[in-house]
Amino acid sequence: PSLVQSKEESETEDDDPKDTEETSSVLIAALQSFSQALMNADKEKEIVAELDAFLRPTEDGKGSLISRISTLDAQMTAARNRILRINE
C-alpha cells in the first residue's frame, strides 16, 4: 500500500496537528520569502524564481515536492517489502 494518501483519504481522515504545523511552517517560510522579495527590489527576481521553483513542479516533474514524496514513498514501500520477505 502507498504511504501517500489519495485525495479521498485525506478528505475523510482527521488531519494530524503535527502534519498541519509542518505544512504551515513551510508555507509561512515561502510567504516570508515572497514578502521579502516584494520589499527588496534588488533580489526580487531571484527570490521569486526560487519560490516558483519550490512551489511549482517542473515540466518533467523532477524536483517537485510531490515527485520527491512519491519517490520516497516507493523506496519505503520497497524496503518494507524486502524486510517482510526476509522475516518470512
Q: Does any domain span residue 66?
A: yes
Q: What is the mean pLDDT of residues 62-70?
A: 69
Q: Does any domain span residue 77?
A: yes
Do 67 and 44 lie in one domain? The reply is no
Q: Among all chains, which residue has been given the C-alpha cell 520569502? A: 33
Where does the pLDDT of residue 80 fall: very low under 50, low under 70, confident under 90, or very high at 90 and above?
Answer: confident
pLDDT at 73 > cutoff 80: yes
Do 67 and 43 lie in one domain? The reply is no
| Rounded Cα distance, 12 and 7, in Å | 9
| pTM recorded for the entire structure | 0.34
Query: Structural domain tally of the chain?
Result: 2
Q: What is the pLDDT of residues 10-64, one digit of tens each?
A: 444 455 555 556 666 777 777 777 777 666 666 667 766 776 666 665 566 555 6
Residue 71: which domain range?
A: 60-88
Q: Does any domain span residue 6?
A: no
Across 58-68, b (16+ Cβ under 10 Å) vs e yields eeeeeebeeee
Do 76 and 50 lie in one domain? The reply is no
46: left (phi over 0), alpha (psi -120 to 50) or beta: alpha
CB 52 within 8 A of CB 66: no
Do 45 and 73 lie in one domain? The reply is no
Q: Does any domain span residue 3?
A: no
